[in-house]
Amino acid sequence: MDMSSLGRLKEEVGWHGISGLFSTEATLWMLGYYLFSLVLQTILPGQEVQGVELASGGRLDYKFNAFPSALIVLGAAGIGTMLQGADFALWTFIWDNYVRLITANLGVAFAVATFVYVRSYQVQKGNQDKRELSLGGHTGNIIYDWFMGRELNPRVNLPLFGSIDVKIFCELRPGLLGWLLLDLAFIAHQYKAYGKITDSIVFITLFQGLYVIDALYYETSILSTIDVITDGFGFMLAFGDVVWLPFTYSLQTRYLAVYPLDMGIPGTAGCIAVVGFGYWIFRSANNEKARFRENPKDPRIAHLKYIQTKTGSKLLTSGWWGTARHINYLGDWIMGWSYCLPTGIAGYYIERSQLAAATNFDPDVVQGKAKGWGMIFTYFYILYFAILLIHRERRDDEKCARKYGKDWEEYKKQRIAQEIEVVEDE
Ligand code: NDP
């Protein structure tokens, strides 16, 4: 390849050299964001809760305030936007440093995963500090254990900040809120580029925002999730929390920031119906189990049937959890459709001659032959999420079979029996 065609290739793929991938400034601002989150976690009052019983006995103490922390960050971003509009420095910084921010977060995930891996060798059997290894994360294969997470709930004592639960911090704070901030930055960019904000990008941001705020509002329910109870904290979770989730889940709004599609009233109504249906299943199934686990006499769930297992724990056999195993996953997946549908039949291209102008917000992007191909990116979420949830269901089934033995078989049989009854009644 001669130099001129190499130059052309660089221009076409938007390669600006290593500085396009990494910058010290972007990395430092990113670390500042983490630090700010740590400060908020420390100084804001929070809900003091105990985790579930550990295999080695005892419960860990937690302080939850990711929700008020997020409100402070969003409030500050709101004030900045009121004062500076779409030119607010946070939004332009995110847009201009998108790839550099991915690199910075990748670095954080790598460093944190390596740190907790090395530190996991301090964990002793029957540890007094309530530290334990994860079931699947200490095979002896360094790469595998580093990836899966050797320690179950690593905690670190930081000067001024005290004890920080690394897994809960990563799961609830930088990435989850970062996802919403990315969406908002993309709205600002669309406005700067086109002088308008489309219903599609607002819709996705609203509902992804609802998902994020919901997760933060019900933050204590994380204590009964597989992530906290079963999975070790390694590169997989660290990467998932701070890189994968914010940067891939916001691909649709990033797409719409450049290709502003209007859905109109019928499109919006259809998407609202999808998301409403999904949320109803997702939230009521999750609430039902959380209430049951907290207090089985709670009047809202006291009428539900259950089986008492030999472990002392009870399993619901009616209500949502008697209808299907992990029906909460189904609701979650249905909601996921509403993040993709507003991008329509996606795909656009920017002609080479327009490339330079386009980076200066030239609105002239066309679908042409690219129509449809963009769906690989904008509908990727729904495919990926289905695979994730199916895989998760299988892992949870194995976990429950191991934990509950014959009682789990009984629960599955009771469900099948109920299904047969329903069919016979019909
Ligand atoms: P669940 O909240 O479904 O929890 C599974 C656990 O619930 C089981 O291990 C078991 O734990 C308990 N359980 C199972 N059946 C019953 C029953 N019949 N009665 C009472 N308890 C039961 O799973 P997750 O932790 O995976 O998910 C939590 C939420 O997070 C879900 O809504 C999911 O959709 C969402 N999620 C979102 C992701 C995303 O990327 N957006 C990724 C993963 C999850 P026990 O030992 O206590 O009995």
pLDDT tens for each residue of 298-324? 999 999 999 999 999 999 999 999 999
* 363 Cα: distance to centroid of ligand 1 (angstroms): 44
Residue 241 lies in a domain: yes
Atom number in ligand 1 closest to CA 331: 34
| DSSP string across 162-188 | EEEEHHHHHHHTHHHHHHHHHHHHHHH
The finding on whether 224 has its CB within 6 A of some atom of ligand 1 is yes
* 393 Cα: distance to centroid of ligand 1 (angstroms): 9
Give the tokens for residue 390.
Answer: 């199916």
User: Around Cβ 199, how many Cβ atoms within 10 Å?
Assistant: 18
CA distance linking residue 67 with residue 40, whole number of Å: 10
Token pair 């790598």 is found at 110
- What is the domain range of residue 68? 15-262
Residues of the chain with pLDDT under 50: 363
Neighbouring C-alpha atoms within 13 Å toward the C-beta of 360? 4
Single-letter code of the amino acid located at 16: H
* CA-based max dimension of the chain: 76
From 321, 328, 383, 403, the mutation candidate for ligand 1 (largest count of ligand atoms within 8 A of CB) is 328
Q: What CA–CA distances, in Å, run from 24 to 20, 165, 179, 250, 285?
A: 11, 27, 22, 24, 45
Residue 150 lies in a domain: yes
The finding on whether 400 has its CB within 6 A of some atom of ligand 1 is yes
Residue 50: which H helix or E strand, with range? Answer: strand 47-50
Whole-model pTM? 0.86
Q: What is the pLDDT of residues 191-208, one digit of tens each?
A: 999 999 999 999 999 999
Residue 422 lies in a domain: no
The finding on whether 211 has its CB within 6 A of some atom of ligand 1 is no
The finding on whether 221 has its CB within 6 A of some atom of ligand 1 is no
Which of 144, 155, 140, 151 is closest to 117 using CA atoms? Answer: 151
Helix axes 251-258, 174-194, angle to 10 degrees: 10
Which of 147, 167, 158, 135 is closest to 60 using CA atoms? Answer: 167
Residue 103 lies in a domain: yes
Residue 109 lies in a domain: yes
Q: Residues 81, 216, 37, CA angle at the centre, nearest 5°?
A: 60
What is residue 368's predicted lDDT score, i.e. its pLDDT?
A: 86
Q: Identify any residues that bridge with 315 across adjacent strands, giving them in sequence order.
A: 307
Residue 362 lies in a domain: no
| Number of domains composing the chain | 1
Residue of the nearest CA to atom 9 in ligand 1? 396
User: Phi and psi of 236, rounded to 5°?
Assistant: -55, -50
Are residues 348 and 369 in contact, defined by beta-carbon separation less than 8 angstroms?
no
The finding on whether 403 has its CB within 6 A of some atom of ligand 1 is yes
What is residue 426's predicted lDDT score, i.e. its pLDDT?
A: 52
Atom number in ligand 1 closest to CA 313: 48
* 182 Cα: distance to centroid of ligand 1 (angstroms): 27
CA distance linking residue 148 with residue 116, whole number of Å: 11
131 three-state secondary structure: coil
The finding on whether 323 has its CB within 6 A of some atom of ligand 1 is no
Which of 176, 196, 346 is closest to 259 using CA atoms? Answer: 346
Residue 316 lies in a domain: no
Q: Identify any residues that bridge with 339 across adjacent strands, giving them in sequence order.
A: none
Residue of the nearest CA to atom 16 in ligand 1? 315
From 168, 242, 396, the mutation candidate for ligand 1 (largest count of ligand atoms within 8 A of CB) is 396
* 84 Cα: distance to centroid of ligand 1 (angstroms): 42
CA distance linking residue 181 with residue 130, whole number of Å: 35
Strands 306-308 and 314-316: antiparallel
Residue 390 lies in a domain: no
Rama region for 132: left / alpha / beta (φ>0; ψ in -120 to 50; rest): beta
User: Around Cβ 368, how many Cβ atoms within 10 Å?
Assistant: 10
* 388 Cα: distance to centroid of ligand 1 (angstroms): 13
